[in-house]
Amino acid sequence: MRHVKWLVGAALVVMTTGMASGQELTGTLKKIKDSGSITLGHRESSMPFSYYDDKQQVVGYAMDLCMKIVDAVKKELKLTKLDVKLNPVTSATRIPLIANGTVDLECGSTTNNAERQKQVAYTITHFVTANRFVSKAASKLKTVDDLKGKTVVSTSGTTNIKQITEINAAKNLGINILTAKDHAEAFLMVETDRAVAFVMDDILLYSLVASSKSPKDYVISADALSVEPYGIMLPKDDAAFKKVVDGAMTAVYKGGEINKIYDKWFLKPIPPKGINLNVPMGAAFKKVISNPTSSGDPKDYQS
């Protein structure tokens, strides 16, 4: 009788353990396992982070990192196969599509900040950009104070134009600030001397300079007007999924693989035109690699 009771007890332990294990798999991980697929949100023209190449394939630095995360999720769920679905997103749709569960990861160039963290979560920062300005080297403009009394341009509807407007007022610089409909038009205004400088995220400025007719004619300011961390978005309040995602990113950083991926997109020719952006890894991002963080506070990225 005692033997029978032991068997019954053992069976209950196994059943309870099995139920607990099943209960542990919730949220995004459960959805991915049940469907056998993971959905990545991507940008269409956010070079070099996420964009279409000349073969209409989605490529980029953030895409490569997202695929490392996909491998980690597949391993965590012990799946022999995991389908990757691609869903294009825009600046307007990227946050809602993460929030409503349509997209599991957003692989792009999205700034991580406190306001956005009310709706979505972020994994470990994968790039640190800054609001700077590009000008012609011949103008010899190095700091924001050098822009005093001059005409500058930025793109309409961006945080960049808001920042330069606030700085202009705070320092009483008397800068004439023009707006352009897009980045290409703003850069053209500097090319044609309608503005002495274009204020924008430095990585986008590097891309524009590298794509210009004469890259050596331009210089990007060392003077940063703000610091902004980019991160891959994922659903908010899903600790189990975030743990796997963060673990994958940390492994890429700690194992040194990040250096190869970074060099591929920022220090070597990239599709579709074989342009080399020539953007060495900055001190702020090196700090993240040494001490991985998903903080949205700009102060955590300053030396």
Q: Would you list the domain boundaries of the chain?
A: 26-126+231-301, 130-227
- Whether the domain at 26-126+231-301 and the domain at 130-227 fall into the same CATH topology: yes
Hey, what CATH topology would domain 26-126+231-301 get?
D-Maltodextrin-Binding Protein; domain 2 (3.40.190)
pLDDT of residue 8: 43
For residue 161, which amino acid is it? I
Q: For the residues 198-211, what does the mean pLDDT come to?
A: 89
Helix (H) or strand (E) holding 86, with range, is: strand 83-88
Mean pLDDT computed over every residue of the chain? 90
Q: For the residues 11-28, what does the mean pLDDT come to?
A: 56
CATH of domain 130-227: 3.40.190.10
Return the closest-CA partner of residue 242 out of 94, 29, 96, 36.
29
Q: 9-18, 156-165, 235-244: which has the minimum mean pLDDT?
A: 9-18
Cα(298)–Cα(262) distance, rounded to whole angstroms? 21
Neighbours of 172 (CB within 10 A): 8
Length of the chain equals 303
pLDDT of residue 13: 44
pLDDT of residue 246: 98
pLDDT of residue 23: 52
Q: For the residues 176-198, what does the mean pLDDT come to?
A: 93
Residues 6+ apart with CB under 8 A from 200: 131, 132, 133, 134, 154, 155, 158, 160, 183, 186
Answer whether residue 20 shows pLDDT above 60: no
Q: What is the value of pTM for the model shown?
A: 0.78
